[in-house]
Structure 1
Amino acid sequence: MTHPMHPDQVATPPQLVRRLVDEQFPHWADRPLTRIRHAGTDHDVHRLGDDLVVRLPVVAWATDQAELERRWLPVLAPHLPLAVPTHRATGRPDHGYPFTWSVWDWLPGRSVDGRLDDAAADALAGFRDALHAVPTDVAPPRRPHSRGGPLAELDDEVQPAIRRVGDLVDAPRTLALWAEAVQAPRWTDDVWLHGDLLPGNVLADEDRLSAVIDWGCLTTGDPAADLVAGWHLFDGPQRRRFLGDADDAAAARARGWVISQAVIALPYYRDTNPGIVAQSLRALAAVLS
């Protein structure tokens, strides 16, 4: 990015990452290091050789994500039909970089973009259903205001955000759909949630979905929170295929999750992350269509 996305963003130039890796994990010092350009918002990513990736938080609120993934992905992975990241090492703060950082296996494939086909809709729906079926008896408690809770928790933030971005969206229609989502009947049982099934977090390899990455929003809660991919990745027929047997209440809440994420992101990243802005506008247009 040309400008930092966050007021307190920490820089991770390649020379710093090289020094951290070489000193803390000298057995990987001979591996080439390549910065990965992406539209993510909370980590910088550097590929380490052919089969590893270094992830470094760039803002303090993202610092607990790697530990969340390290603890729970081994529990979930055996139940899932698509690959998920495997943790290899944890690095410590040093040389002015203030956060714990991590090394993971590199998963082959490309981040999906655009509208996916029937096979992809079936594959991602199968992944979602498998994740939601994993027992939650040992799951950590949901954090307040995290993904998957009652949308009413976000109402005081979302309504003003919709009005702020009214020049970019149909604000009255968006407010009406948001109100419908907030008022929709509550779900019955909490399930495991990825919490961020957006284009950059779903990988395809040889034209088939292969992996789901970036589990920093992992939690338990409303299954509708994992239906957001329906508007981010699919057009009408494929969206209906992906949504499956979701009832009207779940679909309404899912639209609410799309709206809340998009309208909060738009003003925050408007001048610093064009990828997130474009992604948010596409999803909102799909919700409003």
Structure 2
Amino acid sequence: MNPWEATHPVSLEKAKEKIECDFPSLKPVGVKACGSGFDHTVYEVNGEFVFRFPRRQLGYEAMQFESRMLKSLDRISFDGGFEYPKPVFYQEAEGDDYPYVGFTNVKGSVLTEETDTDLLHQHAEELGNFLKKLHTLPVGEIDADPDHLQRLSTKLRKHHFHDIASQSAPVIPELLYKKLIHYIEQLEEWENVSGNTPLHGDLHPKNMIVRNGRLSGIIDWGDAHIGHPAVDLSVGYACMTPEVRTLFFNAYGEVDERTQELARFKAVFIMTVLVRYAKNTEDKDVLRWGLAGLEKSLS
């Protein structure tokens, strides 16, 4: 079975039927497909809301994490300079169906649809400031769990990392692939590094929204958790060249060498995952950004 295949697919027709039944105040419901991610099928409703339906068990769990985090941010009126979704509608599970959630619509296009893979360079300082504000929020006011997935453990992920790279090899240029394999093979093995920071948890190009050529929103908070800031700071490696990365880190604040090493690992890992996803789904847009991200994060 394809690892990205939905165990709980929700067609446009089914989504429309469910939303009209569960939320009659939205009638007449106009539904437009927004695409699918790793874990959710997403529909725009009446141009104002985005409804996310879990495609599989991991999507259901991510939806719970996302709802809790976004409710926390909304409650404390967090303003990091970019839009983020606000949960408005929630429908409990019915039969074998998962629950689903409707959020305010962060309008625009997904960053991976942009041809310019250097687009975030103009936002280096803004992103640094956004993460600085997010990471300094009082932990006691954030409803999120610790990092149970051990996202920064190379001891846990190194073997799997090598497998993902091998599966991605057919779509990675030869010299870049050799560079990737060398990075993985020389990677030291360490246990997960814990932290006490509120995190987005999955800050990569498929989870960013662009409007009028500029970054405008941060979406998909399904990996939100309390952990080490390197998880989010990885965006500086995945989407920026070294000279621009310096501006990003300067805006964020002092970042020690160990945190930078962890951030690079997270960036190389998630970009390799994106490349494999793009290969399996034949998504040329994601492949373009994934390959560009590997080049940047390995430089």
Contact 2:71 2:87 in 1 (8 A): no
Higher mean alpha-carbon deviation, 153-162 vs 185-194, is at 185-194
Q: Matched residues in 2 for 1:204 and 1:120: separation? A: 11
Aligned residues: 284
Choose which of 259, 265, 280 in structure 2 pairs with 1:271: 280
Alpha carbons of structure 1 residues 117 and 272: separation in structure 2 relative to 1, 3 Å: closer
Alignment of 1:142-181 (within 5 A): 142-147=146-151, 149-167=152-170, 168=172, 170-178=176-184
Quickly say closer, same or farther: Cα 1:119–1:262, change in 2 above 3 A: closer
Alignment pair present for 1:227 and 2:230 = no
Q: TM-score, normalised by structure 1?
A: 0.84
How many Å separate the matches in 2 of 1:58 and 1:188?
30
Q: Which amino acid aligns with 1:177?
A: Y
The aligned counterpart of 1:74 is: 71
The one of 255, 261, 274 equivalent to 1:252 is 261
Residue in 2 that maps onto 1:283: 293
CA gap 1:277/1:143 in 2 versus in 1, 3 angstroms: same
Q: 1:6 — aligned with what?
A: 4
What is the CA-CA distance between 1:184 and the residue it aligns to? 7.9
Amino acid in the other structure paired with 2:245? R
Amino acid at match of 2:110: S
Q: What's the secondary structure of 1:80's corresponding residue? A: coil
Partner of 2:59: 62
Aligned-residue offset at 1:127: 0.7
Q: How does 1:89-238 map to 2 (within 5 A)?
A: 89-94=89-94, 98-112=97-111, 113=114, 114-116=117-119, 119-137=122-140, 140-147=144-151, 149-167=152-170, 168=172, 170-178=176-184, 182=188, 189-238=195-244
Distance 1:204 1:271, change over 3 A: closer
Look up the equivalent residue of 1:227 and give its one-letter code: L
Unaligned runs of 5+ in 1: none
- Give the 5 Å matches for 1:21-32: 21-32=19-30
Amino acid across the alignment from 1:44: T
Q: Distance in 2 between matches of 1:204 and 1:285?
A: 22
Structure-2 change in CA distance of 1:109 and 1:160 (3 Å): closer
Asked whether the 8 Å contact 1:118–1:241 carries over to 2, the reply is no
Residue 29 of structure 2: SS of its match in structure 1? coil
State how far apart, in whole Å, the 2-side matches of 1:254 and 1:37 are.
Answer: 29
Could you list the per-position Cα deviations for residues 221-253 of structure 1 after superposition, in whole angstroms to 9, with x for gaps in the alignment? 221111222233333432221133433322221
SS at match of 2:134: helix
Pairwise CA distance, 1:183: 5.5
Distance 2:234 2:209 in 1: 16
Task: Describe the shift of the 1:217–1:185 C-alpha distance in structure 2 as closer, same or farther (beyond 3 A).
Answer: closer
Q: Counterpart amino acid of 1:130?
A: K
Cα distance in 2 between the residues matched to 1:143 and 1:118:
29
Q: Which residue of 1 is the match for residue 17 of structure 2?
A: 19
* Residue pair 1:33, 1:48 contacting (<8 A) in 2 also: yes
**Distance across 1 between alignment mates of 2:45 and 2:164:** 39
The answer as to whether partners of 2:135 and 2:199 remain within 8 angstroms in 1 is yes
- The answer on whether the counterparts of 1:116 and 1:234 sit within 8 Å (CA) in structure 2 is no
Q: For structure 1, which segment, 186-195 or 233-242, has the greater mean C-alpha deviation from structure 2 after superposition?
A: 186-195
Pair 267,208 (structure 1): closer, same or farther in 2 beyond 3 Å = closer
Distance 1:103 1:57 in 2: 12
- 1:55-82 residue CA offsets vs partner (Å, 9 max, x unmatched): 1111121102222222222323423322
What do the CA deviations read for 1:22-80 (whole angstroms, capped 9, x no partner)? 11111112131111136x22111111112111111111211022222222223234233
Contact residue 158 and residue 189 of structure 2 kept, 8 A: no
The CA distance in 2 between the partners of 1:108 and 1:165, in whole Å, is 32
Is the contact made by 2:65 and 2:144 (CA closer than 8 Å) also made in structure 1?
A: no
Segment drifting more, 222-231 vs 271-280: 271-280
**Structure 2 unaligned regions, length at least 5:** none
